[in-house]
Chains A and B, each alone.
Chain A
Amino acid sequence: METIPTPYSRSQLERLLPDYAFGNLSPEESQRVEKALQRHPDLAAEVEAIQAVFRRLESMEYMRELERRSSSLSLRVLNLWEAQKTVKSVHWWKPVAKVLFPALGLALFAVWWYSASFPPPVPPEGEREFLPAAVELDPPLPYTDGIVTLTYWYSGLPPVAQPRTSLPPLPTASEDEIGQLLNSLAEEVLWSEDATAQAP
């Protein structure tokens, strides 16, 4: 059995009026609107007026004006795009720097944090003379010194390794002791040469 659609209320009809007036409804919907308009002659008159006014409006070509104004956009946009790409390729280092600088900062922070969290053991007073050879150089290597200074500057700790101010005294020996040592060395050399000559 075919169902008869309920007639549109006035507010429903109003919502459909522009689409009806501009021919955007389906034939079925248009028929329903026409039937409903018979019950609302004021709205029917309004539809006619709207149609007439907008027909005139169409002839004023408001949209064509915008179309004309925007017609050169594609060329402008593409030129600007090209220019932007060139600038981007010239400034290739910018993104690299964006990554590199924070990474460097992070690394320095990590060094500082590590130094602050795990301070190196300070040797007891009596053992301070047994220090790494690198820092005992006199004068110290400027590069090594710089790195050591920078690291300790960042860590906020006093340098553990201090350049030695005096060297421990060398052991002394008499002339006889030296002569005995040289003789024993010469014997060892002769013995090893004989052993090499007798080898098959």
Chain B
Amino acid sequence: MKIQAIIHQQISQLKWQILVCVGLVMVLPVEEFIVGLKDGHGFSGGITVFIAFIIAPLLAGLIACSNVQAEMNDKLYLFWRSKPAGIKLMVAIKYFVGLAISIFIFACPVVFGFIVTFLYNEKVSSGMRMFYIPLCFVLAIMIYSLCFGLNVLIRNTARGWLIGILLTGFFLLLPFLLPLNHKDVFSVFVLLTSRYLIFIIIISVLSFVLSLFATQYDWHLKTNLKSLLWTIAGLVFVLLMLFSSQVANIKILEEKEIQTSFHNENLLNYIGDKVVYKQNEYISTNNDKISLSNVGGTMGQAIPAGLSDGGGRYNHDVYPHDGRLIKQVGDDYYCFYIFAHGGIVKTDRGSSTIEYHGATLYVSKVERSSWVLVREIDLSECLDENVYNVFMAMRIIENKLFVFVDNSLVTYDITNPEDIQQVDAKINVVSMQRYYVFGSAFEKGSEIEIPIVPAEGISEQEKIVLSIDRFYNARNMYESSIVDIFNGEISFYGYNFSTDCFQRYEVMYREPYVIKCRLKESRQSTFLEGLTKQRMNKTFVKNGKLYCVADNTLMVFDIHPDKGIRKLGHFVRLDYRIEDMAVLEDGNMVLHLRWDHLFSPANSVEKEKNYLYLLKGP
């Protein structure tokens, strides 16, 4: 077969299409160039990207359709099929000639952009060179191949092109939505890496192979409008199903509206293993229904009124900031909190700030349905001079209360909270040096050191957990931990906002004053997670699962060390705010959500509603 003659025939056949397509893709860059030349403000490379990204792939599909359709009308088709020519070779030549033309059309604005940018002494951004242009290039190949294959099969230009474009969209979205590896798309496909590009190329090659077989065996898929529309609807439905299975796959067992005047406050707290709502009602679930049972009186605010306004002093800070550290002893409930106070001073730059002078540990008790102060312990010796940001944290381990204030640790025996006894005090000796592991771009395998806290009376393991939580979970360590212990291996987890990763650090060994840890695993947020997650408010580990709560998103991960960090569940409510969450003993979750009228009609009667959601543990 005369290959050169066939190529010549192909190009002659498509000459008008080539001219029109080149004209279309070059209009905007040339216009931009002329305007830039006239005004003298350079050439905008964005135009080239826009053309390459939007128009060129669509035109590639058009070239494919024109290329095939020219030979597919009834008479011509019978004519060339009757010739003693290698059909596969002929279709392959047609495919590659058309592909070369498509690449030429795609290259026109890109090369023009590069030349003009060079002439203007400007630089093409690395993002454009390394990402946008290669991706557009592969995208154009994919659309061309799909349209070519489908046209051979369907033999209808408009339908072949339409289905080709739709299938391209479907295949491009599919990797982000596939429920692979137990609901986790990320384990298989990684964004913007070679794997995704390989996926696109595989589809293109398969489509080319399909066109070869379709021609050889004379496959003809007859379509009609009805079946076409049903197919499109089916594809969209499949995509939506996959999407919802990825980001809305936690079952809601009950949604209960609640009345509360509390704002931005954690209404869900733990007393032991039980979850209490508003500090006065136990939350229990029977038959997947939320039921509230009174703890024994209305506790109300845990901070006595005299202190909540600052106790007559100008400024203060309280720990826990939002929640409550409550302990039940017999029938009595005790609440512990640290209160740091100071005055406003002027800094060297002239701005105002708070200088903390003292700190106090308060113990309150429920008496006659209200909190009554029972103990007040001065912790001012824990503070250095000129403290502008006071560090505070607390945790109860068995009958011991560990209180961190700045670089001091004071331990109390709280067997009888009304007669709280100091067991140990390490003043100004606890190191504050730390690595900002969840705000830095550490590479996998990086090693860090965490100073160990000199806590007395607890096991070595508990000491390590306390040391890790003190640095990386101080805000919530009174009620939760980021540390997981599996078969004696200690790991801690968190969300790195700098790299948008969920990370696992494992404890390697302990030295006299520090714990050596290593970044063991880093799981990048997926495309879909990135769409709904804004900032992570709370991260904690419980019963072998990692819980991450953002403003309106909850994600639950399995953190079995052998399987890596795998997503189990994802709950999203874009118009709600997750105020607080707690995990129940049976693994189900309770969420306090606040709905406001942000997206609601202006004439809506309800401006704000609060809900308790009971979610099935994934």
A, B in one complex: no
Residue ranges of A at the interface with B (Cβ–Cβ < 8 Å): none
Interface on B for A, CB 8 Å cutoff?
none
